[in-house]
Chain A
């Protein structure tokens, strides 16, 4: 069965520190997609990235980077030089045939607080 584990419930960092949010997933499917979403205090989830299971290249977008490792079933998210505006709840999600390929299965989220 599918599973997405975000073991870090809450993280606090001081502004300008780097921080990594962990995501470990389980699925029986060989084709699947992984996602990251950000939920700021306003409440609306904002899509950050989608990565398919056949593309293990790391991705960088500004201060954000993602490390996908199939060998450890992990899709970790790093924020470099964190800023107060990065404070939010971050969700990792999985889409696979066993979840219903139109559907997303979410982890429980990690609340990141960036202290000025």
Chain B
């Protein structure tokens, strides 16, 4: 069964902290994605990766970075968390190739105080 897991369901951090959100997939997918979900805005793409050590900016990359050292793991990093980064963060993966469906993890609800 397809599985995407995220390291935490809920996370509370303080302004200025460095935050790591981890995502692991067990489907041997090439593509991995990070989204944030906010009320009224839907899902917005932060970063994505087509392969190990490769990354591409999405629509809202400011304030974030990513790391993909292994195929199954894709990390989202908030270098210095700010209150406007309080959100739900969703990780997804898909096969390589075009127009494939993405499989999502359960999400991490991050609160920055």
Task: Give the interface size bracket for A toward B.
Answer: 20 to 34
A residues in contact with B98, CB < 8 Å: 95, 101-102
Which of chain A's residues 91-113 have a Cβ closer than 8 Å to chain B? 91, 95, 100-109
Minimal Cβ-Cβ distance residue in A for B97: A102
A residues in contact with B33, CB < 8 Å: 103
Number of residues on chain B facing chain A (CB within 8 A): 31
Q: How far is the CA of A109 from the CA of B58 in the complex (A)?
A: 20
The answer on a CB contact under 8 Å between A52 and B42 is no
Known: A102-B94, A103-B33, A108-B41. A47 touches B102 (CB 8 A): yes
The answer on a CB contact under 8 Å between A47 and B101 is yes
A residues in contact with B92, CB < 8 Å: 45
Q: Most chain-B Cβ atoms within 10 A of its Cβ — which of A9, A46, A100?
A: A100
Which residues does A use to contact B, with CB under 8 Å?
Answer: 9, 32-33, 35, 37, 42-47, 50, 52, 91, 95, 100-109
